Amino acid sequence: MTAAPGRRVLILGGARSGKSAAAERRFSPDSRVSYVATGGDRPDDPEWVERIAAHRAARPAHWRTVETVDVASVLAGATGPVLVDCLTLWLTAVLDEAGGWDDRAWSQGRAKDLVRARIDELVAAWAAATVDVVAVSNEIGMGVVPDTASGRRFRDELGWLNQRVAAVSDEVILVVAGRELRL
């Protein structure tokens, strides 16, 4: 990445839009990037295993992979460039941990408070990053309204997360059909 240290870039797009490839291109081939994979392992899902293998094969072998949902800690301790792929899967894991898919837990505030605290923590770490950071996230608010409360909750929370990260980013890019549009 040719930008000054501490530059924060958010890359948004739909499924298979090319957003991950766009994020990876932000770094020079010789950069020592910490690639934060937030999707987790799903060994019983062959299609997921295939997707993960394709992502791994696409990035340079000298990049360090960190599989975690504790993105805030990685950002806080980073001494070199970081690529987070992706905030959508991060939010899914956070909702899982908080019991946020349960309508009752959400309406009573327990799950909502836990999710919002994790989002606050992530946004604060993103804003405070002293190294170059790029994050990928899905833009899912442009389509059909989900017919379940938990689906609408996820869409809404991801929309709020994307807005908050974008607000403290130096650059935001929307990827559509492999084309990058600076916002």
- Active-site positions read 55
d(CA 92, CA 48): 15
Label the pairing between strands 179-182 and 171-176.
Answer: antiparallel
Is 170 strand, coil or helix? Answer: coil
Task: Give SS3 for 80.
Answer: coil
Q: Tell me phi and psi for residue 145, to 5 degrees.
A: -75, 120
77, burial (CB in 10 Å: exposed 0-12, middle 13-18, buried 19+): exposed
Gap between the Cα atoms of 80 and 173, Å rounded: 22
Q: Is 64 exposed, middle or buried (0-12, 13-18, 19+ CB in 10 A)?
A: exposed
